[in-house]
Amino acid sequence: MPWEALDTPGELGRLRDIAAVLIRHGFGDVVQRIGMAAALERAGKVLGRTVPREPARLSTPARVRCALEELGPTFVKLGQVLATRVDLLPAEWTAELGKLQDAAPAVPPAEIWAQLQEDLGAAPEAVFAEVETQPMAAASLAQVHRARLTDGTEVVLKVRRPGIRPVVEADLRLLNHLSEIVEAEAPELRRYRPCEVIAGFTLSMRRELNFSYECRSAERIAANLAACPEIVVPHIYWQWSGERLNVQDCIRGIPGRDLAAVDAAGLDRKLLARRGANAVLKMILEDGFFHADPHPGNFLYLPDNRIAFVDFGMVGRLSEKRRHQLALLLHYLADRDSGSGAGILLDWADGQVDVEHLTAEIEDFLDQYHGVPLRQFDLGAILSDLVGILRNHDLALPVDLALVVKAFITVEGMGRQLDPEFDIAAECAPFLERVMLAHYAPRAVMERSGRALSSTMHLLEDLPRGLNGLLSVARQGKLQAQIEVASLSRLGNQVDRAASRLTVGIVTASLVIGSSIVLAAGEVARASGLHWFGLLGFAGAGIGGIWLLISIWRDGKRA
């Protein structure tokens, strides 16, 4: 068990905190099963068995959410990422984790001002005409202050919390260890792919800690949406922005959740729903670079029915091939070709499965949409159900597609809140048609053919060299073929253990018989000193017998 890798006082102390929180929220069995309690006891760390906090009154997803909130910023972010993995977790889990609030107490102004001076190269008061000391928002990784440029432009300063990086990095190392242990010690949790999830989360967190990455993402999306004047993306001021500071336009508008204010301002709900959905669909299906967390907290409603998108810490990418596959899937649904639709889903799925059974199940599901026009699809429900089928077979989508599915479901929910008659499929249809046309456009076909031809030429160019190497190895008698079959390996181990026991049993029996003969010689054996060999033989037989019993008992527990 890799608990031994956690040997520093800080890591062991954090491990104790995590175990205590899990026990307090009713997950003591998990702590015991993956060996956290035993590891802490060996390290001399005291772990109090705190009574769970009303576990019976809360659902399991709610207790997990409460535990993540108590564990701090890294775990809150992990929960928010898990809320996007609709391919791994059921709807009740993603809905509960989606409630995680990224809020934290404000950092004292003196600490913030000291870091700002380092990043700006001068005192904040010397760079900006005005800076508010009271933050307008404080989150786990950063807090935001309003400021005003010398020309009167209102901006916001998103400042990374001082000292937060080493805290997050320590938690990420611990999470990596925990994911390995969970996969090794809790087979029923392997379906949730803890190592894969934590690896992706680690990359995402390190990007989010670097505000330059967020700034570049905002600029890229702003450039892609430049032809959409109804969509606003804050301008980035690069002369002051960097890894720990993001200076951007301050946009004042109606928060996405405040529908009463939308009505009071006289905005057109139907138009807002269409514009918001079209912006997200364009990002996903046309640009392949999209805001991966388009929930109501990340956009504002502006006068003239405009929409501002903010917070580009989480973005997704979708290759041209993926976009084409998504368009094909929906067209196969409309064209009654459920077999081809199932083929695309199987191509997306990651894992081992009974292909025939899964294909039949997907085809049965898709058959209910035969003849239904694309504009009448309940796209969010279809995607949720299809992902549910994959999840029931312990399959997962690639991360890019998981983010797309989550974005589709979120956008549809947002549109329905604004307009109960909102139809995401109707808004999606023109984009899908353009994706198909762009894929089969002569220029696109020529480019793909050129790339394929180039790859083929490289392969043919390297083929003689590869064949020569293969023949050379064969002439030297070094050519080997290795076949690994997991079941045969397990059978070999079982045969090896059985042979070892049989050998020890035979030796033990021989020692018992031989020692009995020696001791039966009586005075003759004592006179010659042979009786000591008889006693040693009995001792060896006893040790062999004890080993056999322990070995059989251990295998019984494993079974």
Catalytic residues: 293
Q: Can you spell out the DSSP letters for 223-291?
A: HHTTT-TTEE-PPB-TTT-SSSEEEEE----EETT-HHHHHHTT--HHHHHHHHHHHHHIIIIIISEEE
Count the Cβ atoms, other than its own, within 10 Å of residue 503: 11
Distances (CA, A) of 195 to 31, 295, 351: 18, 27, 14
3-state secondary structure 342-391: HHHHHHHCECCCCHHHHHHHHHHHHHCCCCCCHHHCCHHHHHHHHHHHHH
Rounded to 5, what percent of the chain is helix, strand, coil?
A: 65, 10, 25
DSSP state, residue 443: H
Checking phi first, is residue 288 left (phi over 0); if not, alpha (psi -120 to 50) or beta? left
Q: Are 198 and 179 in contact (CB under 8 A)?
A: yes
Distance CA 324, CA 320 (A): 6
d(CA 83, CA 526): 79
Q: Which of 490, 498, 479, 514 is nearest to 548 (CA)?
A: 498
* 154-160 vs 137-138, strand pairing mode: unpaired
8 A C-beta contact, residue 344 and residue 323:
no
CB 103 within 8 A of CB 109: no
Tell me how far apart the alpha carbons of residues 324 and 161 are, in angstroms, rounded to a whole number.
41
* Whole-angstrom distance, CA of residue 554 vs CA of residue 548: 10
Give the whole-angstrom CA distance, residue 411 versus residue 215. Answer: 23
Alpha-carbon span 434 to 208, nearest angstrom: 33
Structure-block tokens of residue 455 = 């790859």
Tell which residue, 171, 140, 165, has the closest CA to residue 10.
171
> In this structure, how many other beta carbons lie within 10 angstroms of the beta carbon of residue 255?
14
Q: Beta strands 299-302 and 254-255: pairing type? A: antiparallel
Task: Find out whether 306 and 300 touch, Cβ atoms under 8 Å.
Answer: no
Give Cβ neighbours of residue 553 (< 8 Å, ≥ 6 apart): none
